[in-house]
Amino acid sequence: MHAKTTSQKNLEFGAKLGAIIQNADDRAKLIDDPKAVLGDLGAASDVQLLADTADTVHLVIPANIDTARVAAGDETYFEELGKAALGSCYYEDLPE
């Protein structure tokens, strides 16, 4: 039951954050004062916000890596890591 509750909370948080990011005014507020906006959502105040721009994309390195899967050359795992690291970063036109 705990995992289901936690998952539901994560989904709700993600939905709220997604709505903020998609709204230009709300996104600007998030970038200007991330602690306040994230605090209103119930996120920890020690979260660091890095906003991608047309010429800057942030790569996130996951905190926990399955070294056995890396050592085994698990291509599926590498794909999972890549998706986790880049999130939903996608640019139709790459910056020059």
The residues facing 56 across adjacent strands are: 53
In this prediction, residue 1 has a pLDDT band, given cuts at 50, 70 and 90, of very low
- Paired tokens of 6: 């936690």
What is the reported pTM? 0.57
Distances (CA, A) of 78 to 4, 46, 82, 89: 27, 28, 6, 17
Q: Which residue has the higher pLDDT, 2 or 79?
A: 79
In this prediction, residue 58 carries a pLDDT of 79
**10/78: higher pLDDT:** 78
How would residue 59 be classed by pLDDT, with cut points 50, 70 and 90?
confident
What whole-number percentage of the chain has pLDDT above 70? 82
Q: Nearest Cα to 34, choosing from 23, 24, 22, 48? A: 48
Higher pLDDT, 76 or 95: 76
